[in-house]
A and B are shown apart, each in its own frame.
Chain A
Amino acid sequence: MSRVFMKGCEAIAEAAVRAGCRFFAGYPITPQNEIPEYFSRRMPEVGGTFVQGESEVASISMVYGAASSGTRAMTSSSSCGIALKSEGISYCASARIPMVYVNVSRGGPGVGSIQPAQMDYLQATKASGNGGFQMLVFAPSTVQEAVDMTYAAFDYADRDRNPVLILADGVIGTMMEPVELPPMRSDEEVKAIKEGKRPWAIVGHELDYAHRAWIEPGQWSTAVMQRTNEKAAALYESWEKDLRWEEYRLEDAELVIAAYGISARIARSAVNLLRQEGYPVGLIRPITVNPFPYKAFDKIDYGKCKAVLDVEMSIPAQFLRDVSIGVKDRCPITTCLCSGGNIMSRESIIEAAKKSLEA
């Protein structure tokens, strides 16, 4: 397959179109503006709908509506914009509506900074809205991975009837890289996917009240609400099978770096440079950050490993909490952090790694 040179945001949008996404609503915010921009041009070409909403709340609510009709629908934003969408995201999770959204995250908290950051980790993985719902959350390290994850996210969302989050960042969103795009789903396939959701979707059964579907983000009956939540909990339990992570050069590692997304990519290159200098360093990179691959940390040889180095673009550290649960006090954990829109450098990882090994 041939490679095309694409910007992360545009590649994500194209992957969504190819997966059969036919509705997008969003509101501008840096550094993800190329996603709505791309959709605004591309959606009319495939008979889809692009709406620039009047706000983030309006946009996620439109996605909620569109996805309720069985259409593959998506929204995107960045950090503080994602926070505004949390009401609608929680509604989608409560009503068990399949939809996909992307957080091209930037510095925080608040308006923060427009540059890349990984400051939404706990929000993304633990509580993207009220009520304790869970989602599959994928964290891409390359533009190719962002493409593949977005394409697959629509299938996961439909399989589970649940929202799926792609947790990217401003580097992945704004960088350009060669990618291989997945195949375009035909109009027939897109139609069949929507048709497959007829049993639950609001598709407008004229004069047929018996089959009119309801979409319910809440219940009057406490008993029904509890049953709904029990079913959701069972779904979340079933995600063990979807756990994904990458292990890199763990075999003889005396130091294991734990990182996800863009930091992991930079860390991987730091591992190679450290290995060239003779330092036995490895890497664990969670690809699904919810559910979290805690068991990946059982692969470490704690007889050899002196420390695990948590590398993330967040101060205070957040990803560290899941890493700690995985490591279970079997060795010390050190950190290499940056924040405020500063981007992790290989040099600071190398320095932190050497320090951790000497300690």
Chain B
Amino acid sequence: METNLCVAGFGGQGVMTLGKFLAEAACESSDRNVTFFPSYGAEQRGGTANCFVVISDQEIGAPLGDRMDDLIIMNEPSLKKFLPTLKPGGRLFLNSSIVTDDPGRDDVTIVKAPVTELSLELGNAKVLNVIMLGVYVGYTGIVDEELVWRIIEQKLGSKPKLLPLNKKAYEEGLALGKKQKQN
């Protein structure tokens, strides 16, 4: 079993951090193979930023690719750029606050999460990536949810006052992801 995930959005939306948290949790939780590959271009400022995470119980060949099982899309330009890479039967996790267009794919599962709105309701736009990470983990169960939180906790260790906000953001995402899964 191998899962190829691409996370894409605006520079500054925390897509690299989202991918890294997930990959680290996958590394810690099991003896599965996992790779994280950031894609930086000359387009960082205001353009799209993206990263690839591969989690597999076999040797990983390519740490990036053009056939994705899962896509996490945080903005419109990323949807245009990466939707064609999503396999039929794949799963699309959409930031539905700002991606309002119909993706126009009926061969994939679409999980909508208004993470920009939710982050603003929590009082900090920066936690949208943590909410989305929660949605993804809650929906897919790809990595133990407790362990993902431990990784976030560890990474934010030097800024303990951010922990309660991030905990809330993560839990809200998890709940939303699980709810979507049931529907």
Chain A interface residues (CB < 8 Å from chain B): 3, 5, 114-115, 171, 174-178, 265-270, 272, 343-347
Contacts and interface: CB of A to CB of B under 8 A. Distances in A.
A267 B59 CA distance: 12
Contact of A345 (B40, B41, B59, B65): B65
Given A3-B27, A5-B24, A175 B59 contact: no
Given A115-B41, A175-B37, A177-B34, A269 B27 contact: no
B1 interface: no
A5 B34 contact: yes
Given A265-B62, A272-B61, A345-B66, 10 more contacts: A3-B27, A171-B64, A174-B37, A268-B59, A269-B62, A344-B62, A345-B62, A346-B62, A346-B65, A347-B66
Given A5-B34, A115-B41, A347-B67, A178 B27 contact: yes
Nearest to B25: A5
Q: Which of B20, B38, B62 has the most chain A CB atoms closer than 10 A to its own CB?
A: B62
Given A115-B41, A347-B67, A265 B61 contact: yes
A115 B40 CA distance: 8
B36 A178 contact: no
B38 A174 contact: yes
Nearest to B64: A343
Contacts of A115: 41
Nearest to B31: A3
A175 B54 CA distance: 11
Contacts, number: 61
Contact of A178 (B20, B33, B41, B42): B33
Given A115-B41, A176-B35, A346-B61, A5 B66 contact: no
Contact of A175 (B28, B41, B61, B63): B63
Contacts of B66: 345, 347
B60 interface: yes
A115 B43 CA distance: 12
Interface string B60-80: 111111110000000000000
A266 B62 contact: yes
Contacts of B60: 177, 269
Contacts of B34: 5, 177-178
A5 B23 contact: yes
A104 to B, nearest CB: 14
A344 B65 CA distance: 9
B65 A175 contact: no
A352 to B, nearest CB: 15
Nearest to B32: A178
Given A266-B61, A269-B61, A347-B66, A5 B27 contact: yes
